[in-house]
Chain A
Amino acid sequence: MDRENEKVAAPKKGRRQSAPGKPGRALAFILIALVALTGGMFLSGHTTPRLGIDLAGGTSITLEAKNEPGQKNAINPTNMNTAVDIINNRVNGLGVSEAEVQTQGDRNIIVNIPKGTNEKQAREQVGTTAQLFFRPVITQAAGAATPDPSATPPGADKEKDKATDKATDKATDKATDGADSPSSSASPQGRALTDALKDDPTPGASDKAEDGKKDDGKKDETPAPDPATAKLQEQFAKLDCTDKKQRAEAGRGIKASETTIACGKSADGKTWDKFILAPAEVNGKDVDEAEATIRQDTGAWIVNMEFTKGGAKKFSDVTSKLSQQQPPQNQFAIVLDGDVVSAPSVNTTLSKNAEISGSFTQQSAKDLANVLSYGALPLTFHEQSVTTVSPALGGEQLQAGLIAGAIGLALVVIYLVVYYRGLSLIAIASLLVSAALTYTIMTLLGPTIKFALNLPAVCGAIVAIGITADSFIVFFERVRDEVREGRTLRPAVERGWPRARRTILVSDFVSFLAAAVLFVVTVGKVQGFAFTLGLTTLLDVVVVFFFTKPLMTLMARKKFFASGHKWSGFDPVRLGVKPPIRRARRAPGSAGPVDPKEA
């Protein structure tokens, strides 16, 4: 019966309207999509959307980049991304789980720190500008705490450590640097700071007495009072760089002009070294630029630094002093936020240009160059807003949002049922499909693009209920208009659809345009809202095309709807179709269901 009718209808449809198609196929398509999305959701292990800070609780910090005076155009994607990396390292280095750092707009960085984190500490980390210093190394040791700090003479066990550590490092280092840098003595991190000119090779691991050296250092740099030195030594001995917390706290809040302790990764990237570092001689702003390149002769990755004019002078002063020292005191620690990023040794006086060579991989060279550049980034960051939400309030807001959504949905459903009666079943089913799609896609977007459902997004989703239902109304009213003209339901659906489709597409396009423009242009909460609105608008089109219309086509075949049952929403009396006329119209073409001329 169905098939027969389709055949009859086909030529007519081909003339002006889209064919009713195969409604089953479209329905199957959307069901498969739904099942696939749900399956993907369970497979990915995330069955609820990722919640934003305002719903889950936590702290959200918005930073705005500002150009340093005299630097124009410093706010560019490269600089911003470098800054994001640095901040990300800093915040996540605190032991914060899943802190999230993102750029937003062209000049903002959003840092979201979930609940259960030391918010104060995190904010300190984020709020302060990264500080990059070049500090001469005074003492260095393997990262673990010294077993008996009071009994150990400072430096004694350190030397031991060094001897073992360094020997290997140096060997590899030289091997890579080999050909043209005989001079570079490897640092504990397996790196050397050189320029084009090289001296003669330094001896291997040196066992020069630590104490004497320290005195030297003190004379050269700031003389530290003895009690302070003793205290530092004690701290140093206790410091356990393998402990994340201790590591994070080591050397925090120390001024550039003070001697400090610090941790740093050793060359292999697995173990930790600890350091006592002299006051900073050169800081990050003295670096003009830094980049990772491949040295042409050896094919090894190196990092090239170029200092500013003032920086070059300071740098040459320090390197001339350092190059006279014995290891480990010929090292220059590059300290970012209290962490030793690298500690290359110096063998010669350097000035404007310097290169750091060693056992770099492409990644580690780039990372170091980034760190060095960050010190030189002509950007400062200012806290624009800080929002702290306790988990209790977050939960409350989420609950309120869900209740509001439920109420909104219920009101819409009631209205549809009252007005459209049986027809509302199609609308409700479509709304449910739409809701299911939105939910699964939002959930899946969590792990993939870090989409987080926040309160504005919830609002967007609730408002979207109306937008989605509007499409059904446009379609239903069209079909009812056609029925009013005296068509039977099936042709009415097929005739009404192309026009409803156009209206829906045009108006959804306008909605989507608004969402897209807002998403691209705006920042902050507005953006989250725009995203949801855009997503639901797209889904609306999908649902109307692949679900509502095919379902309508199927339902139009049911007697309940086709006969204009009182509760079907197509009651001829209510629609204002005058039954006698309708019958009269049907009479000539009763054999051919649609068009007498073609029947």
Chain B
Amino acid sequence: MSKLGNLGARLYRGEVGYDFVGKRMLWYGLSILITITAIVGLAVRGLNMGIEFEGGAVFNTPKTSASVSKAEESAEKAAGHDAIVQKLGEGEMRIQIAGVDIEKSDQIKRALAEDLDVKAGDINADLVGPSWGEQIANKAWQGLAIFMVLVVIYLAIAFEWRMALAALIALIHDITITVGVYALVGFEVTPGTVIGLLTILGYSLYDTVVVFDSLKEQSKDITKQTRFTYSEVANRSINGTLVRSINTTVVALLPVAGLLFIGGGALGAGMLNDISLSLFVGLAAGAYSSIFIATPLVADFKEREPQMKALKKRVLAKRAAAAAKGESAEAPHTADDVPHDDEYEDDAAPAVVGPRSQPASRGRGKGRPSGKRR
């Protein structure tokens, strides 16, 4: 554990770090690949929509000694449709029949109760007309669209439109991946899945917002210095908040894992399971996208601004000059930079500072003199 603790400190100081922004093309490529796979999966296999969306009936029987085949036979006889029977836990059964209407399902329930020798009142029934599922889904899409519009507006105000756009792309990315996983694996889509998917909305953005917030802070007066390009600052933001991102994601995933474990283990199937499964996939995708996609995208957008281009030019020119002077000149140079550095960090950019004893050759994470707190 102490290793992890140290890692946090070293990441923070920039002693170690991963060049997320520099290698963004790799990650973009990976994401595009995953997204295309997801879309192809969706197009080819489609989603396995549950009874709640297709219309039909789901019965959960109490413990019974009857066999699965008997239940299936009984249900099919009463329904005239194919029935899917699953055995749950200790003798409970879950029977799904698509395409029956509500009237019919009452008869099925009675028939089941008789054949399986259980009380009709003990059979749990979920009867859904097809338009109800459609309505849930339509409303969910509607909610999704409204949320996206509002959140983009909000992020554009709180941060800036480039970040809002990047966050939106990351969000779409997360949802596509989650839906794609459902299509490819063939998990059943239920209202619980939709709930999970919609929760990802807020959650996937949580991480993204944390990184953006740090980025906004660090790049506040970026044009007043010549040591770092925007991309480099962005990269440092990711690394600086990496521990935070990992912690928040782990902590968010733990309760969901608890749900998944209990939902999958104790109840066999049901809403707990459905919600937690889509949440789990979505959260993981969300954590990935806020680090590997959203922030590098912001850097890409930003680097297109004329000021940022000019900054990059200045920074590169300066570095070239420094390199020309030879390695021995580097140390004094660093000292030179400090005042600028300090200025643009007026509101303190934690990731840029660190103990002076840092090796300077890393090109980032160089500290300013210790006494200068403002």
Report chain B residues within 8 Å CB of A403. 262, 266
B126 to chain A: which residues have CB within 8 Å? 385-388
Given contacts A455-B272, A514-B147, contact A407 B195 (CB under 8 A): no
Q: Which of B196-240 contact A (CB under 8 A)?
A: 198-199, 201-203, 205-206, 209-210, 213-214, 217, 240
Flag if A463 contacts B243 (CB, 8 Å): no
State in angstroms the CA–CA spacing of A276 and B168 once bound together: 68
Contacts of B102 in A (CB 8 A): 383, 386
From B205, which residue of chain A is reached at the shortest CB distance?
Answer: A510
A499 interface residue per 8 A CB criterion:
yes
Chain A contacts for B135, CB-based, 8 A? 64, 105, 108, 384, 523
**Cα distance A105–B195 in the bound complex, in angstroms:** 17
Cα A64 to Cα B102 with chains together (Å): 14
Contact A526/B259 with A463-B279, A467-B252, A585-B370 known, Cβ cut-off 8 Å:
no
Q: Are A466 and B276 in contact (CB under 8 A)?
A: no
Kindly name the residue among A481, A513, A529, A574 whose own CB sees the greatest number of chain B CB atoms within 10 A.
Answer: A481
User: Contact: A470 with B254, CB < 8 Å?
Assistant: no
A190 contacts chain B at the CB level, 8 A cutoff: no
Task: Report B-chain residues with C-beta under 8 Å of the C-beta of A470.
Answer: 206, 248, 251-252
Interface residues of B in 335-362 (CB under 8 A from A): 348, 350, 353-357
Residue with the highest number of chain B CB atoms closer than 10 Å, among A463, A474, A574: A463
Note all chain A residues with C-beta closer than 8 A to B18.
none
Q: Kindly state the interface size class of chain B when it binds its partner.
A: 35 or more
A409 within 8 A of B: yes
Q: Is A518 an interface residue (CB 8 A)?
A: yes
One digit per residue, 1 when the CB lies within 8 angstroms of any chain B CB and 0 when it does not, for chain A 92-124 equals: 000000000000010010000000000100000
CA distance A458 to B192 in the complex (A): 12
Q: Does A419 lie within 8 Å of B1, measured CB to CB?
A: yes
List chain B residues, Cβ under 8 A from A405.
255, 258
Q: Which residue of B lies closest to A466 (CB)?
A: B252
Residues 455-493 of chain A: 1 if any B CB is under 8 Å from the residue's CB, otherwise 0?
110111011011101100110010011101111000000
Q: Are B131 and A384 in contact (CB under 8 A)?
A: yes
Are A392 and B191 in touch, CB under 8 angstroms?
no
Q: How far is the CA of A500 from the CA of B238 in the complex (A)?
A: 16
Beta-carbon contact of B206 and A507 below 8 Å? yes
Residues of A within 8 A of B199 (CB): 460, 463, 514, 529, 533
Interface hits, A488-522 → B, CB 8 Å: 495, 499, 502-503, 506-507, 509-515, 517-518, 520-522
Known: A392-B122, A574-B5. Is A518-B256 also a contact (CB below 8 A)? no
**Chain B residues whose CB sits within 8 angstroms of the CB of A507 once the complex forms:** 205-206, 209-210, 213
CB contacts under 8 Å to A, within B150-207, are 150-151, 154-155, 158, 191-192, 194-195, 198-199, 201-203, 205-206
**A418 to B258, alpha carbons, bound, how many Å?**
18
Q: Which residue of chain B lies nearest to A518 when distances are taken between CB atoms in the complex?
A: B143
In the complex, B128 has a CB within 8 A of chain A: yes
Taking A397-B270, A466-B256, A507-B205 as contacts, is the C-beta distance between A474 and B62 under 8 angstroms?
Answer: no
Q: Is A346 an interface residue (CB 8 A)?
A: no
**Are A465 and B267 in contact, with the CB atoms below 8 A?**
no
A521 lies within 8 A of B146 (CB): yes
Contact B13–A484 (Cβ < 8 Å): yes
Selected contact of B257 from candidates A387, A408, A456, CB within 8 Å: A408
The answer to whether residues A384 and B373 also contact, given A405-B258, A525-B191 and a CB cut-off of 8 A, is: no
A515 to B143, CA, bound (A): 10
Contacts of A460 in B (CB 8 A): 199
Contact digits for A521-565, partner B, Cβ 8 Å, 1 yes 0 no: 111111001100100010000000000000000000000000000
Q: A466-B251, A576-B13 are in contact. Are A513 and B151 (CB under 8 A)?
A: yes
Contacts of B276 in A (CB 8 A): 459
Chain A interface residue number, banded: 35 or more
Tell me whether A400 and B262 are in contact in the complex, defined as CB-CB below 8 angstroms, given that A388-B123, A506-B158, A525-B195 are known contacts.
yes
Beta-carbon contact of B206 and A511 below 8 Å: yes
**Partner pick for B256 among A119, A463, A524, CB 8 A cutoff:** A463
Alpha-carbon separation in the docked complex, A522 to B140 (Å): 6
Asked if B213 and A502 sit within 8 Å, CB to CB, the answer is yes
The answer to whether B254 touches A466, judged by C-beta atoms less than 8 angstroms apart, is: yes
Interface membership of B139, Cβ < 8 A: yes
B10: interface (CB < 8 Å): yes
A415 adjacent to chain B (CB < 8 Å):
yes
Does A254 touch B at the CB level, under 8 Å? no
Query: Are B132 and A400 in touch, CB under 8 angstroms?
Result: no
If the complex has contacts A467-B252, A473-B247, are A418 and B1 also in contact, measured as CB distance less than 8 A?
Answer: yes
A525, chain B: closest CB distance, angstroms:
5
Q: Is the CB of A393 within 8 A of B60?
A: yes
Interface of A is mostly: helix
Q: Which of A416, A456, A575, A584 has the most CB of B within 10 A?
A: A456
- A410-432: which have CB < 8 Å to B? 410-412, 415-416, 418-419
- CB neighbours (8 Å) of A409 from chain B are 255, 258
Query: Within the complex, which residue of B125, B143, B195, B267 is in contact with A386, where a contact is CB–CB below 8 Å?
Result: B125
Q: How many A-B residue pairs have CB under 8 A?
A: 291
Contact B192 A408 (CB under 8 A): no
* Residues of chain B within 8 A of A514, CB atoms compared: 147, 151, 198-199, 201-202, 205
Chain B residues positioned under 8 Å from A358 (CB to CB): none
Give the contacts of B120-146 with A (CB-CB under 8 A): 121-129, 131-132, 135-136, 139-140, 142-143, 146
Interface string of B265-305 (1 = CB under 8 A from A): 01100111001100100000000000000000000000000
Whether B217 lies near A499 (C-beta < 8 A) is yes
Q: Does B324 contact A (CB under 8 A)?
A: no
Q: B257 contacts A411, CB within 8 Å?
A: yes
Q: Give complex CA distance A246, B243 in Å.
A: 69
Are B256's CB and A390's CB within 8 A? no
Within 8 A of A (CB), among B1-21: 1-2, 4-6, 8-10, 12-13
Is A204 part of the contact surface with B, judged by Cβ < 8 Å? no
Q: For A403, A477, A510, which residue has the most chain B Cβ atoms within 10 angstroms?
A: A510
Question: With a CB–CB cut-off of 8 A, which chain A residues contact B198?
Answer: 514, 518, 522, 526, 530
Q: How far is the CB of B59 from chain A (nearest CB, A)?
A: 9
Give a binary string over A361-390; 1 marks a CB under 8 Å from any B CB, 0 the rest. 000000000000000000000111111111
B326 at the interface (CB under 8 A from A): no
Query: Which chain A positions have C-beta within 8 A of B275?
Result: 456, 459, 463, 529
Contacting pair B254 A412 (CB below 8 A): yes
The answer to whether B150 and A517 have CB atoms under 8 Å apart is yes
Q: Is A401 an interface residue, CB under 8 A from the partner?
A: yes
Contact B279 A521, beta carbon cutoff 8 Å: no
Instruction: Flag B81-98 by CB within 8 Å of A: 1 or 0 each.
Output: 000000000000000000
- A415-B254, A581-B357 given; A481·B266 CB < 8 A: no
Residues of A within 8 A of B122 (CB): 390, 392
How near does chain A come to B139, taking the closest CB pair, in angstroms? 4
12 residue pairs A–B, Cβ–Cβ below 8 Å: A384-B132, A390-B124, A411-B255, A411-B258, A412-B251, A456-B195, A474-B248, A484-B13, A485-B373, A514-B198, A518-B143, A525-B136
Interface residue ranges, A against B (CB under 8 Å): 54, 62, 64, 105, 108, 119, 382-390, 392-393, 396-397, 400-401, 403-412, 415-416, 418-419, 455-456, 458-460, 462-463, 465-467, 469-470, 473-474, 477, 480-482, 484-487, 495, 499, 502-503, 506-507, 509-515, 517-518, 520-526, 529-530, 533, 537, 571, 574-578, 581, 584-585, 588, 595-596
Known: A390-B124, A466-B252, A517-B146. 8 other contacts (CB 8 A): A400-B272, A406-B258, A408-B256, A412-B254, A456-B192, A485-B373, A514-B198, A514-B201
B residues bordering A, Cβ < 8 Å?
1-2, 4-6, 8-10, 12-13, 52, 60, 62, 102, 105, 121-129, 131-132, 135-136, 139-140, 142-143, 146-147, 150-151, 154-155, 158, 191-192, 194-195, 198-199, 201-203, 205-206, 209-210, 213-214, 217, 240-241, 243-244, 247-248, 250-259, 261-263, 266-267, 270-272, 275-276, 279, 348, 350, 353-357, 370-371, 373
4 closest A-B pairs by beta carbon, nearest first, are A576-B9, A408-B255, A514-B202, A408-B258
